Structure 1
Amino acid sequence: MPDFLVFQLYGALASWGDIAVGEDRPSLGHPTKSAIMGLLAAALGVDRENDAVHAQLSRQYAVAVCVRANGELLRDYHTVQVPGGKRQYASRRDELQMDKLNLNTILSKRDYRTDAFYQVAVWATVDEPVYSLAILQQHLQQPVFNLYLGRKSCPVSLPLHPVISAAVSLKQAFDVYPLAEASIWTDRLAESELVSYFWEEGKLTDAQRGMTSSMTYPRRDQVSSRKRWQFANRDEFYHAESAKGVS
């Protein structure tokens, strides 16, 4: 059995970016792989410009998500004032200082999840990944950069409490996670009737997964280039069961 690094994610707001076109900025109901890899990179202190390490993390680790509470959808309506014309600006400050009499307005809608609670599992798909699970665990406990749930307006609201589980299946790694010890939020989990699991193949056998999928979804969240915001396709598998009896 591979070892699994399991940690919790909770925040008052979270936003897990889906494919966005035009003015709509939707959010998925659970963390994307690119968001999880970005969170790990931030904890490690890896700068966004370091494409090589971001690509290594994405290739060398697989992820799974357990949704303990879906939260609620919040849609935020934005108006953003920008200068007119086709001139390029180096920063928002430059935009605000130039062309003050030639202004346009961009309208957008941004989606968030409120009060959602997730567990994330990470495991290596190669023998010697660029960072070991123990190093990832250490930096999730003491991150170098601030950690966010998809956007900078969505900071984490609880410690991540990372735990390494050995000699168990993926399903067991989620189920034996010490929720009562890790989270002051556990009394709210009784309100959830369903627990959902999402995972990628990650070189796991049926026995190592401990569950079978009922659906497969295409996702475009495999990091190709963090610097250029380029992502590749992957498949994500889904399983759900009653929350009754789940620890």
Structure 2
Amino acid sequence: MQPYLVFSLTAALGAMGELAGHERRGSLVWPGRSAILGLLGAAMGIDRGGDFSGLDALELAVAVFDTGASLRDYHTVETIPTAAAKRPNSRPEALAAARGRTNTTITLRDYRVGGLYGVAVWGDGLEALAAALNRPHYTLYLGRKSCPLAAPPGAKVIEAASPESALSQLTLPPWRRADRFGAPAIARTLICDATADDAIREQVHDVPRDRALWHFAPRRVALRDVAITVGGAS
């Protein structure tokens, strides 16, 4: 038995990970490690360029209860030719200098609608993290700033024998609880660091080596096909 911090993540819209290209920004179907550590940092009041070394040492597992539906937004972007305005002091000044010679392009933004995930965290400082999640310093969102959480994460620290056992003790949003609708929520996929016994693995580059230079090292993650059942409120 060991302590785990567990909490849920759900949002009307979520956009998680994927390469940030100019014309298209996709979304994974579950939040990655960097997204969760960023959310924990926001709860703790750590600025984007702050010290995340205490969070980098944490271990995580993510249970996927509902990946949500996909949604694509067609987003227009207006750019200004560099020859039209050199070193403007503001965007209005640049637009005035361009005099209608702006370039408008359509870009694509992918989202997930109504996803529901459970997160288990283990390591040092869990009680402080739970308190921060329940009273966050900055607004918590699922990926992009336009995607605030639809419900409080319900963070708590519990004792359990494994991440799967810990995640079964989640407090889910009211509209997903069995005590209201009779059917328990069941996660079919668990994402965590891979071990030698895991058959389904993927390689991701999300272990920070130099945050200032955006250098990340690879790690192997496992997608475990397990049934994690949350019976209701606790």
TM range (shorter): 0.7 to 0.9
Aligned counterpart for 2:219 among listed residues 209, 213, 234: 234
User: Aligned Cα RMSD in Å?
Assistant: 2.9
Q: CA deviation at 1:186?
A: 2.8
Q: CA deviation at 1:3?
A: 1.6
Q: Tell me, in whole angstroms, the C-alpha distance in 2 between the residues paired with 1:97 and 1:64.
A: 50
Q: Tell me, in whole angstroms, the C-alpha distance in 1 between the residues paired with 2:103 and 2:193.
A: 43
Query: Aligned ranges for residues 7-86 of structure 1 at < 5 Å?
Result: 7-50=7-50, 53-58=51-56, 60-85=57-82
Corresponding residue of 2:170:
177
The 8 Å contact of residues 71 and 111 in structure 2, kept in 1 or not, is answered as: yes
Residue 101 to residue 137, structure 1, CA distance change in 2 (3 Å): same
Q: Percent identity between the aligned chains?
A: 34
Q: CA deviation at 1:192?
A: 7.4
SS of 2:218's partner is strand
Q: Answer yes or no: is 1:105 the counterpart of 2:96.
A: no
Q: CA deviation at 1:184?
A: 2.9
Q: Tell me, in whole angstroms, the C-alpha distance in 2 between the residues paired with 1:120 and 1:157.
A: 16
Corresponding residue of 1:146:
139
Letter in 2 for 1:6: V
Q: Tell me, in whole angstroms, the C-alpha distance in 1 between the residues paired with 2:9 and 2:96.
A: 39
The 8 Å contact of residues 27 and 112 in structure 2, kept in 1 or not, is answered as: yes
The 8 Å contact of residues 65 and 121 in structure 1, kept in 2 or not, is answered as: yes
Query: How many residue pairs end up in the alignment?
Result: 227
**Normalising by the residue count of structure 1, what TM-score does the alignment of the two structures yield?**
0.80
Q: Tell me, in whole angstroms, the C-alpha distance in 2 between the residues paired with 1:227 and 1:93.
A: 30
Mean Cα deviation higher: 104-113 or 192-201: 192-201
SS of 1:184's partner is helix
Corresponding residue of 1:209:
none
Q: Tell me, in whole angstroms, the C-alpha distance in 2 between the residues paired with 1:68 and 1:185.
A: 10
The 8 Å contact of residues 55 and 224 in structure 1, kept in 2 or not, is answered as: no
Q: Tell me, in whole angstroms, the C-alpha distance in 2 between the residues paired with 1:174 and 1:233.
A: 26
**Normalising by the residue count of structure 2, what TM-score does the alignment of the two structures yield?**
0.84
SS of 2:141's partner is coil
Q: CA deviation at 1:226?
A: 4.8
Q: CA deviation at 1:121?
A: 0.9
Q: Answer yes or no: is 1:221 the counterpart of 2:221.
A: no
Q: Tell me, in whole angstroms, the C-alpha distance in 1 between the residues paired with 2:104 and 2:184.
A: 42
Residue 242 to residue 170, structure 1, CA distance change in 2 (3 Å): closer
In the alignment, structure 2 segments of 5+ residues that lack a partner are none
Residue 22 to residue 183, structure 1, CA distance change in 2 (3 Å): same
Residue 198 to residue 160, structure 1, CA distance change in 2 (3 Å): same
Q: Answer yes or no: is 1:186 the counterpart of 2:177.
A: yes
Q: CA deviation at 1:101?
A: 3.0
Residue 15 to residue 189, structure 1, CA distance change in 2 (3 Å): farther
Q: CA deviation at 1:6?
A: 0.5
SS of 2:115's partner is strand
The 8 Å contact of residues 68 and 115 in structure 2, kept in 1 or not, is answered as: yes
